[in-house]
Amino acid sequence: MLYVHLPEFNGSSSQGKRYANTIYYKLTSKTYKGIIIDLRNNLGGDIGPMLAGISPVVPNGKLFEVVNAANKPTSVTFQGSVTNNMGTKIDLGKVKKSQEFLLR
């Protein structure tokens, strides 16, 4: 069982890539029977590096929608390790998706 505390992230894109790589390599370094991603005390910040880090367990495609004050929705999508329409784009290259742990 792997326990990952996912703290908020606020920083530069190079710091974001280091943040994402640290989490990503822990998730992919060996096989786990289960993964717990703990978001307690995560106050937000830049969602791009956070999602890139856990990209092995995040499915590609539409994640959610954000609706602005004018009631205009924007879809936030994910491909590989890159979040589109929200957050810093962190490209970790070819991402190994853990089929048994993909969030649905």
CB 2 within 8 A of CB 32: yes
CB 21 within 8 A of CB 41: no
Each residue's pLDDT tens digit, 62-82? 999 999 999 999 999 999 999
| Measured distance CA(56)–CA(80) in Å, rounded | 8
What is the full per-residue pLDDT of the chain (104 aa) written as tens digits?
A: 899 999 999 999 999 999 999 999 999 988 888 899 999 999 999 999 999 999 999 999 999 999 999 999 999 999 999 999 999 999 999 998 876 666 55
